[in-house]
Amino acid sequence: WCLWCASNHDLATRGAVRWSELKTHALITSDDEFEHRMASALGGVQCMDGLLPTHAVGNVMTALGLAAAGLGVMVAPSHVQS
C-alpha cells in the first residue's frame, strides 16, 4: 500500500506510516466501500479500527487530486504509485 498526499504534507517525507497515524488526518477514498475493500485486501487485519473516510468520491483521479491539493491523504494499492 502507498499513501498519497500533498508534497508539503506532514507525512510526505516519511518512509512508512502506521495505520493508526492516519486517524488524525482527513482520509480521502475513491468509493463508499473503502472499509470493506481494505479489510478484504488485508486479509481481515484490524488496521481500520477507528479509521473512517472524511471524503468519499466516485473517481480515483478525483481522490488523487484532492490529496495532491492538500485536502487530506489517500491510501491506494502500491501499483497506483507507478
User: Does residue 60 have a pLDDT over 90?
Assistant: no
Closest CA to 27 of 63, 65, 61: 63
pTM: 0.77
Residue 70's contacts (CB-CB under 8 Å, 6 or more residues apart) are 5, 6, 8, 9
pLDDT digits 0-9 by tens, 8-45: 999 999 999 988 888 899 999 887 666 667 667 666 55
Q: Where are the beta strands (DSSP E) in 1-82?
A: 2-4, 27-29, 55-56, 73-76
